Amino acid sequence: VASYIAYALGKLKIRNQLIESAAGLNAEMISFASPRDAVIAISFSPYAPAAIEEARVISEQGVPIVAITDSSFSPLAQFARVWFEVAEADFAGFRSLSATMALAMALTVAVGEKRRDTGGKRKA
């Protein structure tokens, strides 16, 4: 889901950074985030501990977080300014992600439209 959002924002020529490093550079990448940025954080039960810890660090840096999760009781929700609660069908432990992908597409298009309406400029 996060990879799709990064891809779609890139196609819309919106600068973004997917924080997903096999080299273990997540902490270094996160350290560059500032309150002028925004983070989309995604985690579902059983909630990846790394995602929750990264959200905590990011929120302490004053970076606004938009969370996509499965419950208002998700540990991710406590760090988010806004969260989207997505209920997905679960088949023997496999989440379908259909609703989550639809939300990801809607958010991406909405950001693109907002940027177009403001001439592609970020608010200060």
Please give the pLDDT value at position 91. Answer: 84
Average pLDDT of span 32-47: 95
Domains of the chain, by residue range, sit at 2-117
For the purposes of burial, counting CB atoms within 10 Å of the CB of 52, is it exposed (0-12), middle (13-18) or buried (19 or more)? Answer: middle
Residue 80's nearest CA partner among 65, 69, 95, 102 is 65
Q: What's the CATH code, domain 2-117? A: 3.40.50.10490
Label residue 121 by pLDDT band (50, 70, 90).
Answer: low
pTM score, whole prediction: 0.87
- pLDDT of 24 > 60? The answer is yes
